Structures are given as C-alpha cells and as structure tokens.
Structure 1
Amino acid sequence: MDEESPDGVVFKDDSFSSDLLRQLNDLRQSKTLTDVNICSGAWEVPCHRNVLASSSPYFKAMFCSHFRESTEAKVWLRGISATTLEQVVTYVYTGEVHITAANVLPLMEAAAMLQYPRVFEACSSYLQSQLAPSNCLGLARLAEILNCESLKEKAREVALSRFPEVAASADLKELCAAELRDYLGDDRLCGEEEKVFEALMAWVRHDLEARWPHMQELLRQVRLPYIHPAYFHHFIANEALLQASPACQAVLETARKQMFSLYSPSSRDCQPPGHIPPRSCYQDCLLLLGGQKDSQQTTRDVLLYSVQTGQWQSLAKLPTRLYKASAVTLHRSVYVLGGVAVGEGKSVICGSVYIFSLKLNRWRQGEPMLAARYSHRSAAHRNFIFSIGGTGEGQELLGSMERYDSVCDAWESMAGMPVAVLQPAVAVKDQRLYLFGGEDIMQNPVRLVQVYHISRNTWFKMETRMIKNVCAPAVVLGERIVIVGGQQICQVCGHERPAYAPRGRSHGGQAVCDGWAEADHGLQHRGLRVL
C-alpha cells in the first residue's frame, strides 16, 4: 500500500511483520541463530534472546541487564509447566495461543508472571465467558490473587446476581468470614433474605467451632426486617444456634421491632431508629397486571416500569387469564386475588390467590380465599390482607370481608361491611380501613363512608354528600387519603379542601411515588407500586 508524500511515495508492506514473525519461528524450529534454551524441568526449547526481550518486559530485564541469565546458555523458569511454557513460546513467535478449559489457569498465571498482558486478558475473557454460579466464588478468589480486576468484578457480579444458586455451591462454605461478610453485606446482592439467612447458617454449621464467634457480626448483614414474618417467626426466632447467643437474640429483637414498624402504613414517612434500608434490587416500580386490552381480550401480560430508568419491561405472565381481580403488595410480593378466570370458552368466578416475587420473576399459587369473588376490593395492613365485598358465584352482591394472615398462611372471616357496595375506594390508615362510596346492586352511587376498626373488628358508617364515586382507586398520601378519578367525581378526603383529577378515569389503579399520587388507566391494566 502506497501513500503520497511531498517528495515521493511511502511504501507500506502490510504483510511484512507477519512474514517476519513466521520466518523467525522457522529459524527457532530449525535452531538457527538461537542463543538460549528456555527450560522447564527436563524440557527445553531453543529461542532467540532478542525475540524474547522484545516480546516481554520480563525477558527484557532478564537478558538486557546484568543478571546471570543474560549470559547463560540455559535458563530455567520455575513454577511453569513444560506444556504451558511451550504455549507461551508459541505465542511469542506466532501471536497465537489456544486457550481451553484445561490450560487457561496455568496459562493465565504464566502470562502474569512473564508479563504478557494480552494473553492475560484473553484468559480473563475466556474465564468470564465460562462463569457460572458453581465456579464464580473460586474464580473471584483467583482474580484477587492474580490482581485481575475485570475477572474479579464479573465473577462478583455473577455471585451477587445469582446468589440463591451460588449459596448452594460447595465454594460458599469455603469462604472465610471476611469474604462471606463482604458478599452478604453487599447492597447489590439479589436474593430473598430468607436465602441469605439460610446461606449464613449453612456456612456456620460447616465448621461450627471455628465459625461460631463470627455469628453475630454476620447475622447483622442479613436484612432481617425484610424477611417474611412467617419465616422469621417459625424458622429464625426458634433457631437453636441463635437462641444460644444473647448477642444474636438482641439482633433478632431489634429486627422484630423494625419489621412491624416497617409494615405499618402510618410509619411510611418516618424511619425508626436503626432502620435498615432494603437492598438496591428492591427499587420503586410500577407493575401493570393483566386486565383487558383495547380489543377487550383478557391478557396475562405483566409489565414493569422502573422509576429509576424510565423503562418498561415484560415479566413472567400471570398463570391464568383474569379480569376484575384485585391486587395488593405485601412483604415485597404481589398478591392477585380472585377475579374471573377466562379459558376454553368459559368464564369461572374464582377465589384463587397468585403470588408474584419480583426478585425471582416467578409466580406461585397461595392459599385460596374462603369465598370466590370478583369486582371486590383488597387492602394490606401489617401482616394482613383484607378482601372486601365484590360479586359472588351466584352474581349476588357480597357484603362479607375476609382476612389473610401471612404469618399463619390462613384466611378467616371478619365482620361484614354495614352496607354492601361494589367498586368503593379503599384505603388503610391509622388502624382503620376506609371504604368511600361505591354503588349498590342497582348500580346507584352510595353516598357513604364506611370505616372498619382493624383491632376491634367493628364497623361504623357515615352518610355524606361529599362522596359520590364509583370505580375509583384511593391511596394514602401523607395525612390525606386521595381518591382519583371514577365514574362520578374525584376528590381528596382529609383536612384540606378537595382536589380534582385533571380528567375523568374509572377502574383505575393508583400508587404513591416520591410524594406524588400516580394513577394508570385501569380499563386496560391495574397498576401497583412495589416496595
């Protein structure tokens, strides 16, 4: 290839360097002009000092300084096998090396020692492509020894993002206390806190005598307030190893207090002393669950909107096609209750409960409700879910209410509402469950506020001209209960003057996000905020 210059032409031979390297390799193989033998044990290979010195700072220092190797005919390289050394020499003279699962580790160590950074990074890239939950902890430790930041970070990313699988590997039990603490305390760890606790206990039991002194420190790395209360009560509070330690008992007692404070709606805006934040994988988001699309076809789609990224993504679909179901969040899981199940040309009113784990992107079936119902309302408070009213299997208007206890995993009947209504706005605040408006069996708006006292299991009602809403969602926003949209009017109930939605909506879902009330168009989907 030629390039013009002011006084002539610059000739560039692009193949010259590769031809030169090939000729040098031919000279090496024929032992022509070689002046040093590189040895590993009984194996040795003739080489050219100037070629080795030009390929690596390690060999340049060896042959171009006053070391004794600069004049010796044979040079032994300790700690490098004959096979690995041959691969290195082949790379020096050809620019090629064959990396496999069998040779990558010794080749990477040799590349680090002999200062061949491109071979080192090639080995690192190969290992990164082979990363799995079963080997990431071991490779992270190797990366630490070899000071390979790219492999170390990638291995750690796998360990944190796939922690439930990593916790089942033998390598986790071989970590030292400091290494395990580093993983368990990382805010990026993605796994249910129950799995984090189980991993800790498996690690302790692997060498109980030596590891018991680290128990309290490591237990603090588990975000105990975010563990499901039923699991906490049955498996953690009764764990014999923890009961034997007063220090661990103190940690559990603090977590127990934080847990019940955390799930109290009245404490959302104020964090208790010693509050432990959730891991970064628990982020505010909006979920759109099922419903009916514009074509009126019932969909199983589940969509997530990330407040941080502003992006939508599809999640695992609902197990069945449902409409007019209710949905609430409890313990960072989404509960979809009842509704009308559509399939095989028929519709069935059901009392089924489906539970979605956002972390695992997985659905499972929960304990079914006592009564099948649809067009009902649901609300969560502390460890309970309330399912209220709706339409029953015989198309009758239901005034009944039932409560799910997440600790006992059971439903129980509670006092029924004074006046059975459909589609009221529902909110929970200060130990009370509020039902605003709704409609009667003749679809006439009901001008009522019905209030249920949770701890007393009693209702009372208030007639008011201010309330005339149907199919409107409600949410707690500070000291107010906000009702948005509906088929009639929109208003804010509280100590301040009413506020109206900018445009009419009905069958909507609503959530609080960064101090603002947000609503979605519920004719298509129901929106939920997951914490």
Structure 2
Amino acid sequence: MSMEGPAVTVFHYKDREQSSNLLLQLNGLRQEKILTDVLLCSDNTEIPCHRNVLVSSSPYFRAMFCSNFIERQQSKIDLKGITSAILGNIIDYVYTGLIMISMDIVLPLMQAASMLQYGRLFEACSSYLQKHLSPENCLSMIRLSEIMNCDSLRDKAKEMAMKSFSDVSASEDLCELSLPELMGYLDDDSLCAEEEQVFETLVAWIHHDPLSRNGAISDLIKKVRLRYIHPTYLFQFIANDPLIQSSTLCTELIESVRRLMFSVDTKCIRDAAEDFKPSWVAPRRCTYHDVLVVVGGRKNNERTSREALVFDEKNQKWQWLAKLPVRLYKASYVALHSVLYVIGGLTTNTKHSQVSTTVYTLSLKTNQWRTAEPMLKPRFAHQSVSYLHFIFILGGLGPDRRATDSVERYNSMFNQWESMAPMPEPVLHPAVAATNQRIYMFGGEDNQQCPVRIIQARDESLQVKIYVFIPLSFIHSLNPSHLQVYHIARNMWCKMENRMVKNISAPAAVMEDKIYIIGGYTRRMIAYDTKANRFIKCANLKERRMHHSATFLNNKLYITGGRYISSHDTVEDSDIFECYDPNTDTWTSQGTLPYKVFDHGSLTVTCVSQTWAKS
C-alpha cells in the first residue's frame, strides 16, 4: 500500500473510559490479592493494597513509601488511631472513588482523611456536615472545625451562628463559650441581633456561672451598642439590672448614655461622648436596615387613606403594612426609635368629624398599630419632627379651625407630653426640619398676611365634612419669606426674613448639615447649609409640586406623591416616586406608587426584620 499522497490530519484519540476501567481492574486485583505488595493493618484486620496506588493517591503514603522511612521496607503497616471499618471505607474510596458518608461515621472518617491527607474526602465530609448545620449545633461545629482545622466548615458554621443568633443565643452551647469567644461574637458587625437581645444573652452567659463570670459584666456591656436601644428598655430595664448596678463602671456608662441621649446641651453631649467614644461610634449591626414607608394621606382624591406601604429596595416593589385603625385627615407623621408615629388629625370615619389628640404607633417588627400617650391639645394640619429622643409638634389648626402657635414636646423615655415655647408667628404648611440643636421652619402661610381659605366639602363616600385648604397665596403670590428657628436647649424662638424662603406645602429633609426644601407650589429645590448659613440652588423638579412628602434613604432623597400644576394650569394628583442624588445633583424616576396620594407621610424607618405582610 502506498503511503504517498496528501498529508493525513493527526487524530487525537482519548479513551474516556480508560481511567475508570483501570481503577476497576486494580480494585479487582486488590480483592483477589494479585500483585498486592503491602498490608495496611488496623484492629487485627489486614487490608492488602498496591503501594503504587497508595503513593499515587495520597501525599501521606508517598512520603511513607518514597522516602527513607522504615515503612518503606515493611510489608505490614500498622495504622494507629483508625478503626478497621473506617480504613476499609477509605481504601474502597481510593480504588473506586466512591464512599458512603453518614452521620455515625463522618467524624472518624473526617479525622482519618485528615491524617492520611485525602483532601477531597476531607472536604466531602465538611460539605456533609455543612448540610446538617442548625442553630442548635453550629457552635459545636465551630469547635469541631477548629479541632479539625477545617476552614470551610468553620466559615459556614460561623455564618449560621451570626445569622441565626436569636436561636443560637438560647442554646446551651452558647453558655459554654469562653469570654474571648463571646466577646468576639458580640463585637462582630455581622451579628444578626437586636441590641436588647445582645444584652440578654450576655446576662444569661454570666448567670450560667456567676461565681467566675460576674466580673466580666464591665467588659461585656461595652459590646452592647447602647445608642440603638430604645431608651425605655435601656433606662428602666438595663439600668436597673442587678448585674449592672453591681458594677460602678457600668452605672457610670449608663449615666453617660443618659446624658448623651437626653441632654440638648452641646457641651454635655460632647463630654459624655468622650467617656465611651468607641462604643458610641460603632455602626449598626447588619440586622438593622432602613426602609421607606408611605402612610395615610388622601388617596386617589376619593377619601382619606388608611393605607401604609413599605418599599422593598432589593426587589423594587411596594408591600402593604397593617392599615391605620382610623381615617385621619391632615395628621402628622414622624419616625423615632424604629417606630412610626401618626399624630393628631381630623377623624373622617365617624358621623361627626373631630380634631384628635390620639397618637398611633406602628412597629415594623410586629406590624401592629397601638396607641401612645395622647397630645395635650387636639390639632390637625400641624407639623411634627423628631430630634434626639423627642418629638416636637408645631402649630396646626385646633377645634376652632384657627391656626395655633402652640408647640408640644413628647419625651419618649417617660411617655409624656409637655408644652414648649410658642412659635413667634403661627403658619400653616411650612417646611420643617431639625438638626444641630435647632428646629427650622421655612415659609408656610402667614395667617395674617396670607390667610388660608378653608372650604367645607363633603366626602360622599363617608358622608362627613372635610376641610380643603386653598391658599390665597397660590392664587395671588407666594407666601412671606419667613424663617423661624427654635433653639431646643434654650426653648427659644427667633424669626428672620429671607428672600430664598418662599414655599407652601413643601417637605424638608435633612442630610448631614444641609436641609433640602423641595418644591411648594414651585419647581425649585434649595438646600440650606446650616453651618455656612447660606442657601444653595439644586436641580429643579419637573413640575410645580406641593402636598408631597420627602425623606432621605441611604443618602438619596426620595419624594412621593403630592399634587402638581399641569401645563394647563390645573391641579392634578400624583403617584410619582422620584429620587434625587445630592452627589450628582440629578433626579431619576423610581417608577410609581401603587396609587395617587397627597398630604401623606413619607418616612425612613429602621427595622430589624421583614415581618410585614399584605393586610
């Protein structure tokens, strides 16, 4: 046959069954004791093997048989610390690549795999244990992983301990932790727990062995991030705990927190903060995150809404919270200590509308509405703002439908209201914000110079009268340039004029040292720099907007709903949901709300778990 002619392309052949067939043949030779040259012994059991197979499968056997160790010359090798059953399973694995892992053999198998340096088998045992992790055993698994020097198991077990700390904290294993181990957990930002639970955990740990552990309370209390604990729990429960009272350092620490939380004097705050600055500046744990909540208002221009919505940033969807117990017209909305407050308003779901003093609260943790201590005076169309651990209520309309200059302050620690210095001049619909020990009230309607026209109208769906506000300033000109400032520590007001302040029914929101005033029968948005005492022009809104709401969430300003003046000079309701980035001075659309709404609340609320559901 002639080999001359065109060049033949080289054919690369790979027999995919060769490797498995070779192992199969070698295993058959082992079982028939053909060409085997070493016996592995355990528990008076001898397992014949081929040295070359063992050397090829493990660095341990390679070192044993290829180096100048005595085992190189021996025909029998005694493997101590490994049972015959486990050794037999490992040799079967070497020759077949197959092994059955179960809970009754996984630990000795893992230990033997570590000793004989079968890395993939060791990780297979780790994967098996990871699948059986639970809050009840994860701390034990962490101890095991440290004994076994298994990083993959330790990382997964610690991740579960952090994410399921609520369940882990109730386990007996937690009480067996050493002090450094417990402090390591409590010091970790990724620990998923409320600070109240962190405190209860360390108390339970001490009570498990009080004689040797009581002295650790002063070190452990520093791991509790006290600034994120509700003051009622902190000062009525923690402060009175016998363990805390037994430690001078702990009582001094609690007193420093008290001064820091409730003093409105700047020097006192600065001095108190220096006492425990590392603890005070520690960030929130990953359990806590902020969400945007929209509540109340006038829905689809039909009736006063009882709806409450929360925005899921991750899925970019709105979810329903529990509905308000009653319909409230022009209530005020504020968030404090992870709780949403709906204050006052005009009730519209009764036969005769009444101006209310009632305060409703909603915790996202329970998704249930409750009532708190009522205000001193009934009012609606008022403003509310939180600062430190207080809520301030400013102005509004009383039962006589006249604008009031009265100011009330709610102390969340003692659940009490008290009257404060009245405003220099009562105004309706101002933009209000609190920062740097002061409350700033921008614009609004001066009841003397630019009166509000109040028209009675009937809500046909409820058969009750409501009150519609039509500012004459909208018809004629903008409101007076009023800027009223309240000094919280001094309980004093001052008043000034500024040409930049011209807004009605505009919200204000604070980020760092700037107060943003958004719209108010205008497209304009301005930022007031409280430190520099100057106004900064920002990117305009797309339409002239009023009766909307705004809040900062993760350093972005979100505005929701409201009313706007169309190109035909008509007032329209809005379902807008927009976001402003202060870094780029730009607006972007975030879609729409589930319905059109105005005169509502838009708030940033801190929550610890997503427990709400559509109601």
TM range (shorter): 0.7 to 0.9
Whether contact under 8 Å (2:521, 2:545) holds in the other structure is yes
Where does structure 1 lack aligned partners over 5 or more consecutive residues? Answer: 306-310
Structure-to-structure mapping, 1:327-338, within 5 angstroms:
327-331=333-337, 333-338=338-343
> CA shift at 1:459, angstroms?
7.2
- CA deviation map 1:494-524 (0-9, x unaligned): 643574661343234445689x883524434
| 1:471 equivalent among 474, 488, 505 | 505
Q: Aligned pair 1:104/2:106, yes or no? A: yes
Shift, 1:271, TM fit: 10
Matched ranges for 1:329-478 at <5 A: 329-331=335-337, 333-338=338-343, 351-356=359-364, 363-368=367-372, 370=374, 376-388=382-394, 399=404, 403-408=409-414, 410-412=415-417, 414=419, 422-429=428-435, 431-439=437-445, 440=452, 442=454, 443=469, 444=471, 445=473, 447=480, 468-476=502-510
Q: Secondary structure at the match of 1:133?
A: coil
1:368-417, CA deviations, whole angstroms, 9 ceiling, x for partnerless residues?
3626977543211221223456679x996785765443223x35363696
Q: In the TM superposition, what is the alpha-carbon distance from 1:286 to its structure 2 partner?
A: 6.1
**Aligned partner of residue 534 in structure 2, secondary structure:** coil
* CA–CA distance in structure 1, aligned partners of residues 347 and 76 of structure 2: 81
Q: Distance in 1 between matches of 2:173 and 2:109?
A: 23
Q: Is the 8 A contact 1:417 1:450 kept in 2?
A: no
- Deviation (angstroms), 1:245: 2.2
Q: Select which of 115, 119, 127 maps to 1:117.
A: 119
Cα 1:466–1:65 change in 2 (3 A) is closer
CA deviation vs aligned residue, 1:29-70 (integer Å, no higher than 9, x gap): 333333333333244433322222211111222233343434
Higher strand share: 2
Structure 2 distance, partners of 1:75, 1:337, is 79
More displaced stretch, 123-132 vs 138-147 = 123-132
Report the secondary structure of 1:232's partner residue.
Answer: helix
Work out the percentage of aligned pairs sharing the same amino acid.
42
Quote the offset at 1:122 in angstroms: 1.9
Moved more, 487-496 or 233-242: 487-496
- In the alignment, structure 2 segments of 5+ residues that lack a partner are 1-6, 446-451, 455-468, 474-478, 563-574, 578-600, 607-615
Q: Which residue of 2 aligns with 1:247?
A: 249
Q: Does 1:507 align with 2:569?
A: no
1:277-316 counterparts in 2 under 5 A?
A: 277-279=282-284, 281=286, 287-290=292-295, 300-303=308-311, 305=313, 313=316
Q: Is the 8 A contact 1:353 1:366 kept in 2?
A: yes
Q: Distance in 2 between matches of 1:521 and 1:270?
A: 40
Shift of 1:15: 0.4
Question: What residue number does 1:178 align with?
Answer: 180
Letter in 2 for 1:329: A
Cα distance in 2 for partners of 1:230, 1:352 equals 18
Among 130, 139, 153, the alignment partner of 2:132 is 130
> Is 484-493 or 217-226 further displaced after alignment?
484-493
The residue type equivalent to 2:557 in the other structure is E
Q: Give the equivalent residue in structure 2 for 1:496.
A: 534
Classify the secondary structure of the residue corresponding to 1:302: strand
After TM superposition, the structure 1 = structure 2 runs for residues 46-195 of structure 1, keeping only pairs within 5 Å, are 46-195=48-197
Residue-pair matches, total: 510
Counterpart contact for 2:206–2:214, Cα < 8 Å: yes
1:432/1:266 CA distance change after superposition, 3 Å? farther
Distance of 1:125 and 1:294 partners within structure 2? 53
With over 3 angstroms needed to count, the CA separation of the structure-2 counterparts of 1:460 and 1:247, relative to structure 1, is closer
Does the 8 Å CA contact 1:511/1:519 hold for their aligned counterparts? yes
In structure 2, relative to structure 1, the CA distance for the partners of 1:182 and 1:206 (3 Å cut) is same
Equivalents in 1 of 2:497, 2:39: separation in Å? 101
Look up the SS of the partner of 1:220 in the other structure. helix
Alpha-carbon distance in structure 2 between the residues aligned to 1:374 and 1:78: 83
Residues 294, 56 of structure 1: CA spacing in aligned structure 2 closer, same or farther, 3 A cutoff? farther
3-state SS in 2 of match to 1:110: helix
